[in-house]
Amino acid sequence: MAKRIEVKDLDIYYDKFLAVQNVSLTIEPRSVTAFIGPSGCGKSTFLRSLNRMHELVPHARVEGTVVMDDQDLYGPNVDPVSVRRQVGMVFQRPNPFPTMSIHENVAAGLRLNNARISKGDLDELVERSLRAANLWNEVKDRLNKPGSGLSGGQQQRLCIARAIAVQPDVLLMDEPCSALDPISTQAIEDLINDLKADYTIVIVTHNMQQAARVSDTTGFFNLQGVGQPGQLVEIDDTTKIFSTPANQATEDYISGRFG
Amino acid sequence: MPTSTPERELDLESPIGGPPLVHGTLPRWAPQFTLVTAIAAGFALFAVGTAVGLAAIAAVLLYGLAIYSWSRPIEGARKAKDRVVTAIVASTFLLALLPLVSVILTVVSRGVARIDPAFFTFSMQGVVSEGGGAYHAIMGTLIVTGLAALISVPIGMLTAIYLVEYGKGKLARAITFFVDVMTGIPSIVAGLFAFALFALILGPGVRLGIMGAIALSVLMIPVVVRSTEEMLKLVPNDLREAAYALAVPKWRIIVKVVLPTALAGIATGVTLAVARIIGETAPLLITLGATSGTNFNPFDGRMATLPVFSYYEYVNPGVPPEPSLQRAWTAALVLIIIVMVLNLVARLISRLFAPKTRS
């Protein structure tokens, strides 16, 4: 569980358009790494390149290497499906499967892959995942009700439970709280703190306070200008980024003097 | 455009005010009252009784005129227009309903006489004038349509899955184009296609149930492709991404996430496609011919179907023509009932399979 990711000289292209340029960084295991930056600067693109989800866009490709515990994710003969088995993802908008109950949603990662697992083990896994997502007490009496009947915050925690049920090594979160109210956000942030013990977590957020609250390391992405590729300006300890950043652009962005 | 009156203009000087929020309204019974009056006036104008259509048109026009001129000074221009447009929408709806109601009334009134057990249990074997039934035609219609659905649904659904989930380049555009062309094929051409196809294989003059099924599937496939395609497009991409992030291979995502989510819509689309082809006459006339006996085997000899049965009973009546004509109307009625049942089944299916949001 929990792997180190080393990214070296990563360029991400959509067809001919260079979206993200020259990113090199190391993501430590059992830590929370946050990425902040203005819209359109390639945070989400970079995040999605960590489990090869950006390839779902036709003609998207990368140059450079992403190494996860000595394995290059973009090496020849690497199956994107196996990469995603180890690197899970939570999205901006909660997206439980509407045809499935709460129980089936959490079990979806196994059920959709036809994993052979006894009913008792499956029930146990569902309970463990829901407990880990701080949702068990709220839904234990209605596991067979549809997942889309839950509130937005509960749905997002259901999606997190679904993501951790397949026991990935790394959990990517793409603005997981941007559609949620402050109380649900609080619940998710507490959850991130708990999950940190077992997983490597990478989170993209527009909320700088959130980055400061939950992360150990913070990276700042920025654009040089319209049509220019996004770049990683600076990455460092969160306390350092938010107190004495090395780069002027970072300081401007964090203190609200941006643009 | 009428300009607003001076006292309605925005007053930026005074701290509160502006145009008043309260407007005059017509009494609640105004539309009904005007409608009754307009209908009465319309019939008074064309009191002859033969000119019901003219009277109805006059009533609609009078209603629009009256409600507008009543509402305009009291409620203002916007509300008055709203009332007129409401009248237009309602009357065009009634206009569109007219042929449907008329057809149903005619077919029911003329066909209900022969809705008896004999009609559903006897074929026309050896029947010259009275009696007989459409058992052979009902069975033929069910078999041929069922076969057509069996051919069209897999082809159509797989095509739609290709177009939505895989197809991106020239091939997908070509398929979309040809599906559009197929939608416009006249049904007689589909019949001629099936006839020519089997004439090439089995020699000319052959008539089989399967030929009719193939002709009908030519008509049905584009409808299935179109409706399935639209339903698959409605499945949110979020769900596909969620499944991808759980390391599910693409084909499993399609089978286990996309199709179940869209199942209700697809089932409705398929049922409507069946309803669309079940009443086809021309292609079946060419490919199946007609017969008076019951034939359950679509691979051997002619088969009767309801539309063709109805047609032949009408153009070739027996010696006293009345029993034949009655059978023709009843066959049409049975066909309508089958289509209605299919529509109800489609609704039931979509309710059963629809993604549930509440308990």
Q: Which residues contact B17 (CB under 8 A, 6 or more apart)?
A: B11
Smallest CA–CA distance from A99 into chain B, residue: B355
Residue B357 has pLDDT above 60, yes or no: no
Q: Give ipTM to 2 decimals.
A: 0.88
DSSP conformational letter for A133: T
Identify whether residues B313 and B240 lie together within a single domain.
yes
- CATH number at B325 reads 1.10.3720.10
Of B60, B94, B113, which marks where a domain is finished?
A: B113
Residue B220, judged by CB atoms within 10 A of its CB (0-12, 13-18, 19+), counts as buried
Which of A90, A99, A109 is facing B261, going by the closest CB pair? Answer: A99
- Of chain B, the percentage scoring pLDDT greater than 70 comes to 92
Give the DSSP letter string of A163-178: HHHT--SEEEEESTTT
B234 close to A (CB below 8 A): no
Task: State the Cα–Cα distance between residues A50 and A68, nearest whole angstrom.
Answer: 9
Identify whether residues B73 and B157 lie together within a single domain.
no
Identify whether residues B108 and B130 lie together within a single domain.
no
Which of A53, A58, A95 is facing B168, going by the closest CB pair? Answer: A58
pLDDT attached to residue B356: 62
Of B113, B138, B158, which marks where a domain is finished?
A: B113
Pairs of CB atoms within 8 A across A/B: 88
Residue A77 region, left (φ>0) first, then alpha (ψ -120 to 50), else beta? left
pLDDT attached to residue A1: 58
Residue B45: domain span: 30-113
Q: Which residues contact B78 (CB under 8 A, 6 or more apart)?
A: none
Identify whether residues B70 and B127 lie together within a single domain.
no
pLDDT attached to residue B10: 55
pLDDT attached to residue B197: 93
| C-beta atoms of A108 and B246 within 8 A | yes
Confidence band, pLDDT 50/70/90 cuts, at residue B1: very low
Domains: count for chain B: 2
Residue B303 maps to a domain: yes
Residue B222 region, left (φ>0) first, then alpha (ψ -120 to 50), else beta? alpha
Helix (H) or strand (E) holding A222: strand A217-223
Separation in Å, CA B179 to CA B151, B157, B195, B196: 16, 13, 21, 21
pLDDT attached to residue A147: 87
End-to-end CA distance of chain A: 41
The residue-averaged pLDDT of B301-305 equals 88
Interface residues of chain A, partner chain B, Cβ below 8 Å? 51, 53, 56, 58, 81-85, 88-91, 93, 95-99, 108-109, 111-114, 142, 145-146, 148-149, 159, 162-163, 166
Q: Which has the minimum average pLDDT: A117-126, B118-127, B248-257, B298-307?
A: B118-127
Residue B24 maps to a domain: no
pLDDT attached to residue B24: 80
Q: Shortest CA distance to A33 belongs to which of A170, A163, A129?
A: A170
Q: Which residues contact A97 (CB under 8 A, 6 or more apart)?
A: A104, A105, A108, A147, B239, B242, B243, B257, B261
Residue B321 maps to a domain: yes
Identify whether residues B256 and B336 lie together within a single domain.
yes
Best of B235, B237, B241, B246 to mutate (most A CBs within 10 Å, chain A): B246
pLDDT attached to residue B16: 59
Residue B110 has pLDDT above 50, yes or no: yes
Task: State the Cα–Cα distance between residues A76 and A93, nearest whole angstrom.
Answer: 33
| C-beta atoms of B261 and A166 within 8 A | no
Identify whether residues B176 and B303 lie together within a single domain.
yes
Q: Where does chain B have alpha helices with state H?
A: 30-45, 52-75, 77-111, 117-121, 135-161, 170-183, 187-202, 209-234, 237-245, 250-253, 259-278, 282-287, 306-315, 322-353
Identify whether residues B149 and B238 lie together within a single domain.
yes
Reported as a single tens digit per residue, the pLDDT across B215-231 is 999 999 999 999 999 99
Identify whether residues B179 and B317 lie together within a single domain.
yes
Identify whether residues B136 and B257 lie together within a single domain.
yes
Query: How many Å lie between the alpha carbon of A89 and the closest alpha carbon of chain B?
Result: 6
Residue B358 maps to a domain: no
Confidence band, pLDDT 50/70/90 cuts, at residue B98: very high
pLDDT attached to residue A188: 86
pLDDT per residue as tens, chain A (259 positions): 578 899 999 999 998 889 898 899 999 999 999 999 888 888 899 999 998 998 888 888 899 999 988 889 998 888 988 899 899 999 988 999 988 999 999 999 888 887 788 889 999 999 999 988 888 999 989 999 988 889 888 999 999 999 989 888 899 999 988 888 888 888 889 989 988 888 899 999 988 889 999 999 999 999 887 778 888 999 999 999 998 888 888 888 888 876 4
**With contact defined as beta carbons under 8 Å apart, do A103 and A144 qualify?**
yes
Identify whether residues B166 and B290 lie together within a single domain.
yes
Q: Shortest CA distance to A158 belongs to which of A150, A166, A170?
A: A150
Q: Shortest CA distance to B119 belongs to which of B326, B341, B336?
A: B326
Residue B19 maps to a domain: no
Residue B8 maps to a domain: no
Of B113, B134, B167, which marks where a domain is finished?
A: B113
Give the DSSP letter string of B264-295: HHHHHHHHHHHHHHHT--HHHHHHT---SS--
| C-beta atoms of A108 and B356 within 8 A | no
pLDDT attached to residue A172: 93
Reported as a single tens digit per residue, the pLDDT across B330-343 is 999 999 999 999 88
B93 close to A (CB below 8 A): no
B303 close to A (CB below 8 A): no
Identify whether residues B136 and B103 lie together within a single domain.
no
| C-beta atoms of A112 and B257 within 8 A | yes
Residue scoring higher pLDDT (B354 or B171):
B171
Reported as a single tens digit per residue, the pLDDT across B178-187 is 999 999 999 9
Identify whether residues B222 and B261 lie together within a single domain.
yes
Query: How many Å lie between the alpha carbon of A81 and the closest alpha carbon of chain B?
Result: 5
B262 close to A (CB below 8 A): no
Residue B273 maps to a domain: yes
pLDDT attached to residue B57: 85
Reported as a single tens digit per residue, the pLDDT across B159-178 is 999 999 998 889 999 999 99
Residue B91 maps to a domain: yes
* Averaged pLDDT of chain A: 89
Best of A55, A73, A91, A99 to mutate (most B CBs within 10 Å, chain B): A99
pLDDT attached to residue A252: 87
| C-beta atoms of B239 and A97 within 8 A | yes
Phi, psi of B276 (to 5 degrees): -70, -35
A99 CB neighbours in chain B (<8 A) are 257, 260-261, 263, 355
Confidence band, pLDDT 50/70/90 cuts, at residue B4: very low
- Of chain B, the percentage scoring pLDDT greater than 90 comes to 47
| C-beta atoms of A95 and B242 within 8 A | yes
